[in-house]
A and B are shown apart, each in its own frame.
Chain A
Amino acid sequence: MFTRLKQNHRLLVLVVLGAILLFCLIIGAAFGAEAISPLDIVKMTLNKIGLSDFSLSPAWEQRNHETILFMIRLPRVVAGALVGAALAVAGVLFQGLLRNPMADPYIIGTSAGALFGATVARMLPVSLALFGFGLVPIAAFLGALAAVLVVYNLARVGGKTPVVSMLLAGFAVSAMLAAVTFFMVTLSGRTELIHIIYSFLMGSISVSGWDQIILIAPLIVGGIVLARFFAFRLNAFALGEEGAAYVGVNVEREKLLILGLGSLLTASAVSISGLVGFVGLVVPHAMRLVLGPDHRLLLPAAALSGGAFVVIADLFARTVRAPDEIQIGILTALIGAPFFIYLLRRTRREYAF
C-alpha cells in the first residue's frame, strides 16, 4: 500500500511533475522530420524570451531551427500539453462529482457534445464574434454542457449516478451526437468539412502557429486554476450528494458549477484537438493510485501529468510512421480502452445490476 504524503511533500510532488512535463515538452519539440538538440531548444527559447544570449552555430542552421521550433514544434507541444491538462482535469472533476472513477469526458458524451456544437457553428452562414471569440468555441462549450446535463439526468437513478446507467447514457448520447454531426455535414455537401470532422472524430493536435493557442490557453489555464478552488467541495462529494449537503455544500449550485467547468475544459480541448479519448480516465486514475484521492493534490497533479502524457502520445503519433502521422486519438484509445475494460472488471461489484 502506498503511504500518504505529508503536507509539505505535496509541493515537492508538483515540482517533480512540473519538471517531468517540462522534460516532455523539450523532448517533444526535439523530434520530428528535423531533429533539434534538446540543449539548443533550451538555449533558443531562453534567447527568444530575452533571458540569455547564447550563440548557436552555424548561423543558417540556427535560423532554420528557430523557424521550425517557434512556428511548428513549440505550438504543437504546448497545444498537446494544454489538451492533456484540460482533459485530465475535466476527468477529475466529473469523476469526483459523480463519485465514479469511469466518468471521462469522452465516455460521458461531453466531447461529442462539444464537437456537435462546434460543427453547428461552423455550418452557420454567418460568422459572429463575441468579445473576440469566434462562435465556434462558444457553441462547443454549450454543446458540451448540454450533452453532460442530458447524460447526467438520464443516468440518475434515485439520487445516485450508477456506473452502468452513466456509461449507457454516455454511449447513447455520444453515438447520437456523432451520427447527427455526420449527417448534417453530409447534407451540407461541403467536402472540406467532412475531412475536418473525420480528423476531429479520431482526434489530432492540429494547430497552425500560435493564434489558436493564444485564444484557448487562458481558458484552459484559468479553468484549471479555478478547478483547484473546488477541491474541498469535490472531496465532500465523495460522501454522496446528501452527505455533501450535511457538511455544508450547496449541492445543486456546486454541481452546475463543476459540470460547467468540466464542460468548458472539455470544449477548449476539443476545439484544439477533436476527440482524444481516455486521457481523462487513465491519468486521474494513475494519479489517484499514487497520490490518493484528495483533490487538493489530485487536480494540479492530473493537470501536469495529463499534459506530459498527451505530449508524449503526440510525439509517438507523429514519429512512428513518419512522414505520415497517426491520429493521436487512435493511440490514446489503444492505451485507454484496455485500461477502461480493466477498470470495469475491477469495479464489477459496483455496476452489478
Chain B
Amino acid sequence: MINLNQVSFSYNNTPVLHHIDLVVEKGEMVALLGPNGSGKTTLIKLISGVLKPSEGEIRLDGSRLSRLKRREVAQRVAVVPQQFNMPFAFTLREVVFLGRTPFLKTFSDEGKRDYQVVEQTIALIGIEQLKERFFNELSGGERQKAILAMALAQEPKLLLLDEPTAHLDINHQVEILSLVRSLNREQGLTVIGAMHDLNLAALYFNRVILLKQGSIVADGPPEKVLTEESIKEVFSASVQVTQHPVTKSPHIVITPW
C-alpha cells in the first residue's frame, strides 16, 4: 500500500525525520507512537503527500507519491486531522460533502453518487440527527465524527489519523477508534494513526511503531513493542506493563514516585 524508502525530512534545516524505511501493507492498522517532537505528525503529513521528503521517496501502490496529482492522492488517501474550526457557518452535511472534492470535475457540478456517498457515510458514523446543525456549534467529539465522515466520504483506501482523539472525552475516543477498527476489519481499510495514548494504541492497533527523535526504534505487535524498557527509552518514563484484563493486550500503568 505505502512504501517509504530512506525518507528524511527537515523543517528549515532542522532535521525532523532521519532515513525512515517503512512498509505498510493493505489492511494493516498501524499506530505511530512517540513523544511530542518525535516526528509522528510529520510522518503522517509526508504519507498524505502535503509535505515532500527532503530525501528518499514514498510510493503509494507502487507509484511515486510526488508524481501523483493532489486529486489522485485524495481519491485514495484521506486524513483526519486534529481539531479545527470552520471560518463560516457550514452545516455538518456541507462539511462531510467537502470529502467529495477530489471527485468533482472543474466544469461540472456534483452528481447523484456524491450525495449518496455523503448520506451513507453520515449514516455509517451515526450522526444523521446532527447533519443540519452548524459544524462550529457541535461538541468536540461530534466535530471529530464529522471530520471522520468527511474523510470517509473520500472513499479512501488508506486512512491517516493525526491524533484524532486528543482532547476528546473517553466515550468519543472509544467510539471513533471502534468505528475505524470495524472499517479496518470489515472493509480492509488500511489505517495509519499518530497516537498519543499508549493504552488506546495497544487496544485498537495490531502494529505499533515507536518513534524517537525522528527515527524508528521499534516496530511490531503491541505486546512485543510496548515493553517497560522500550517505553523508558523513548519516553524517559518509568512505567509498568501489565495485561489488559479483557483483551490481554499490554496495559501501561504509571507508577507515581
**Chain A residues within CB distance 8 Å of chain B:** 1, 3-4, 99-101, 229, 232-233, 235-236, 238-240, 242-243, 245-251, 288, 292-294, 296
Identify which of B50, B97, B109 contacts A246 (C-beta below 8 A). B50
Which chain B residues border A101 with CB–CB below 8 Å?
Answer: 87-88
Most B Cβ at <10 Å: residue of A3, A229, A238, A292: A238
Which chain B residues border A1 with CB–CB below 8 Å?
Answer: 134
Write the B85-119 contact mask toward A (1 if CB under 8 angstroms, else 0). Answer: 01111110010011101101011011000000000
22 residue pairs A–B, Cβ–Cβ below 8 Å: A99-B87, A100-B87, A101-B87, A101-B88, A232-B101, A233-B101, A235-B97, A236-B101, A238-B86, A238-B98, A240-B84, A246-B74, A247-B74, A247-B154, A248-B70, A248-B74, A248-B75, A250-B69, A292-B94, A293-B88, A293-B89, A294-B94
B144 to chain A, nearest CB (A): 14
Which chain B residues border A243 with CB–CB below 8 Å?
Answer: 81, 84
In the A-B complex, the 9 residue pairs with the closest CB atoms: A248-B74, A248-B102, A293-B88, A99-B87, A247-B101, A248-B71, A246-B79, A245-B50, A250-B70
Which chain A residues border B88 with CB–CB below 8 Å?
Answer: 101, 238, 288, 293
A286 to chain B, nearest CB (A): 13
Which chain B residues border A245 with CB–CB below 8 Å?
Answer: 48-50, 70
Please, how many residues of chain B have a CB less than 8 angstroms from a CB on the other chain? 36
Which chain A residues border B71 with CB–CB below 8 Å?
Answer: 248, 250
CA–CA, A3 and B134, complex, Å: 10
The verdict on B61 contacting chain A, using a C-beta distance below 8 Å, is no
User: Is there an interface contact between B90 and A238, defined as CB atoms closer than 8 Å?
Assistant: yes
The verdict on B127 contacting chain A, using a C-beta distance below 8 Å, is no
Take A235-B94, A247-B98, A247-B154 as given contacts and tell me if A292 and B74 are in contact as well, using a CB distance cutoff of 8 Å. Answer: no
User: Is there an interface contact between B107 and A229, defined as CB atoms closer than 8 Å?
Assistant: yes
Which chain B residues border A248 with CB–CB below 8 Å?
Answer: 70-71, 73-75, 101-102, 154
CA–CA, A247 and B151, complex, Å: 8
The verdict on B78 contacting chain A, using a C-beta distance below 8 Å, is yes
Chain B's closest residue to A2 (CB) is: B89
**Chain B residues within CB distance 8 Å of chain A:** 45, 48-50, 69-71, 73-75, 78-79, 81, 84, 86-91, 94, 97-99, 101-102, 104, 106-107, 109-110, 132, 134, 150-151, 154
A269 to chain B, nearest CB (A): 24
CA–CA, A211 and B212, complex, Å: 69
Chain B's closest residue to A230 (CB) is: B106
User: Is there an interface contact between B109 and A296, defined as CB atoms closer than 8 Å?
Assistant: yes
Q: Is the interface of A mostly helix, strand, loop or mixed?
A: loop
Take A232-B104, A239-B84 as given contacts and tell me if A249 and B70 are in contact as well, using a CB distance cutoff of 8 Å. Answer: yes
Which chain A residues border B79 with CB–CB below 8 Å?
Answer: 246
Chain B's closest residue to A250 (CB) is: B70
Which chain A residues border B87 with CB–CB below 8 Å?
Answer: 99-101, 238
Which chain B residues border A292 with CB–CB below 8 Å?
Answer: 89-91, 94
B82 to chain A, nearest CB (A): 11
Chain B's closest residue to A293 (CB) is: B88
Which chain B residues border A294 with CB–CB below 8 Å?
Answer: 90, 94
Which chain B residues border A3 with CB–CB below 8 Å?
Answer: 132
Which chain A residues border B150 with CB–CB below 8 Å?
Answer: 247
Which chain B residues border A100 with CB–CB below 8 Å?
Answer: 87
User: Is there an interface contact between B91 and A4, defined as CB atoms closer than 8 Å?
Assistant: yes
Take A246-B50, A250-B70 as given contacts and tell me if A229 and B106 are in contact as well, using a CB distance cutoff of 8 Å. Answer: yes
Identify which of A246, A250, A296 contacts B81 (C-beta below 8 A). A246
Most A Cβ at <10 Å: residue of B48, B99, B101, B104: B101
CA–CA, A77 and B150, complex, Å: 44
CA–CA, A233 and B89, complex, Å: 17
Identify which of A242, A249, A288 contacts B101 (C-beta below 8 A). A249
CA–CA, A3 and B78, complex, Å: 30
CA–CA, A346 and B43, complex, Å: 38
CA–CA, A101 and B85, complex, Å: 14
CA–CA, A251 and B97, complex, Å: 19
CA–CA, A1 and B98, complex, Å: 23
Which chain A residues border B50 with CB–CB below 8 Å?
Answer: 242, 245-246
User: Is there an interface contact between A246 and B78, defined as CB atoms closer than 8 Å?
Assistant: yes
